Structure 1
Amino acid sequence: MADKGKMDQAKGKAKETVGKVTGDDRMKAEGKMDQAKGKAKEALSETEKRARGIQDSLRDKNDRT
């Protein structure tokens, strides 16, 4: 999902740039929204990774006892 987040950020940056060049405020706003969506996807992916790591370490502790 992190790759998808990066793609959304890149797409958003491109839209924002096109919006700035053409004076299209809507396109610029869409670009900013895409970038925010991409950052959120990356944060979610990182949180999921950490949660899996914690879950694995707790499982390992239970296996040792």
Structure 2
Amino acid sequence: MLTAIEGVYENGQIVLKHKPKSTAKAKVMVIFEEEAPETTYAPAKRPFGIAQGAIQLSSDFDDPLEDLKDYM
């Protein structure tokens, strides 16, 4: 049976986060996990006005709608 216990290897020693349940002599396998460098994601800056002229509003956009006259 395998039991995984997390720890840190530093200065030639392994320091476990918690003690194992068994105190008897046991075979141990150590696997070193390489830490990936932390990367930060910064979205590209979009230039102001990139969609200028893409949308056209009709001249009567703000006028009251005929269908809603009964509710006003």
Please indicate, yes or no, whether the TM-score normalized by the shorter chain is above 0.5.
no
Q: Greater strand percent: which structure?
A: 2
**TM-score normalised by the chain length of structure 1:** 0.25
**TM-score normalised by the chain length of structure 2:** 0.24
Q: Greater helix percent: which structure?
A: 1
Instruction: Choose 1 or 2 for highest CA Rg.
Output: 2
